[in-house]
Amino acid sequence: MYFCKTQAVALKKGDYSNSSQIVAFYTRDYGKVRALAKGSKRIEKKSRGPVDLFSYMEIIFIQKESTGLHLLTEWESLRDFPAFRKDVERFYAACHVVQLACELTEEGDSNEPLFDLILETLQRLSLTRYTEVVLRAFELQALKLLGYLPQLEECVNCGADFLGDPGAVFSPVGNGLLCKRCAGEKALQSLSPGAIRAAAFLASSSTTTCDRLRLPHRVSEELKSLSLGCIMLALNKPLEIRTSVK
Ligand SMILES: [Zn+2]
């Protein structure tokens, strides 16, 4: 038997039986894992008790390669986020983060910077009043870490620099940004110079720094469309938004 000890964030939870839960975690060392928490609903304690959504935890599990459903042997919450239970906007924002983390990753594919990004984003969302910019930064940075963010500096077709260009368009087929000349008359999603600059800044700044940026709503909407376009390419289908996300 092989015991794995790691830090984890609870992305999704469901009932397995009256007393047990199945939980999907994103872990620091093993990427996304699904595990059975036997008896978790019977114990009202911080250690080995019910696992809450978004909880930052330390877990020990036994790998079950045959089924892919691992067995939790120890788990303890290191931090949970009461702010998400008190404020519906923050709750939906946190749901969007864990949904993206769940859908964009494969089980067992570890990515430590992505783990840090998920955790920092949840921490930030629990504190900030400006959830919108934190979400846009999370989307862009997660896409970048997973290799799904197109280059934002130059045209994917001719290499023209976007600095000083009157904007660009996102081409899902080309998986990148095109200058207006290369895009021609095709009806593609247009991005203003301000949105390109904001995307480049948010994709490469720390979560705390991003939080200080105030995005005009129009620019935020452009960035959201860019991220949703990239997510659709990555998943090969549109993201099913289950909750109201700014
Ligand atoms: Zn071009």
| pLDDT tens, position by position, 135-192 | 999 999 999 999 998 888 888 888 888 766 677 888 767 778 888 888 877 656 788 8
CATH number for the domain whose boundaries are 82-246:
1.20.1440.120
Rounded to the nearest angstrom, the distance between the alpha carbon of 234 and the centre of ligand 1 is 23
The encoded tokens of residue 17 equal 């039986």
Instruction: Provide mean pLDDT across the span 219-234.
Output: 90
100 pLDDT above the threshold of 90: yes
Of 3-12, 111-120, 161-170, 217-226, the one with minimum mean pLDDT is 161-170
**Buried b / exposed e along 51-90 (16+ C-beta atoms within 10 A):** bbbbbbbebebebeeeeeebebbebebeebbebbeebeeb
Rounded to the nearest angstrom, the distance between the alpha carbon of 57 and the centre of ligand 1 is 47
Share of the chain above pLDDT 70, in %: 93
Rounded to the nearest angstrom, the distance between the alpha carbon of 230 and the centre of ligand 1 is 19
- What is the DSSP code (8-state) at residue 72? E
pTM above 0.85, yes or no: yes
- Distance set, CA 187 to CA 183, 197, 205 (Å): 8, 22, 31
Determine the pLDDT at residue 233.
85
Rounded to the nearest angstrom, the distance between the alpha carbon of 158 and the centre of ligand 1 is 4
| pLDDT tens, position by position, 210-222 | 878 888 999 999 9
| pLDDT tens, position by position, 30-46 | 999 999 999 888 877 77
Rounded to the nearest angstrom, the distance between the alpha carbon of 229 and the centre of ligand 1 is 19
Look at the domain 1-80 and name its fold: OB fold (Dihydrolipoamide Acetyltransferase, E2P) (2.40.50)
Rounded to an integer, what distance in angstroms lies between the CA atom of residue 215 and that of residue 103? Answer: 26
**Burial class of residue 1 (count of CB atoms within 10 Å of its CB; 0-12, 13-18, 19+):** exposed
What are the sequence ranges of the domains in the chain? 1-80, 82-246
Determine the pLDDT at residue 164.
65
Rounded to an integer, what distance in angstroms lies between the CA atom of residue 124 and that of residue 118? Answer: 10
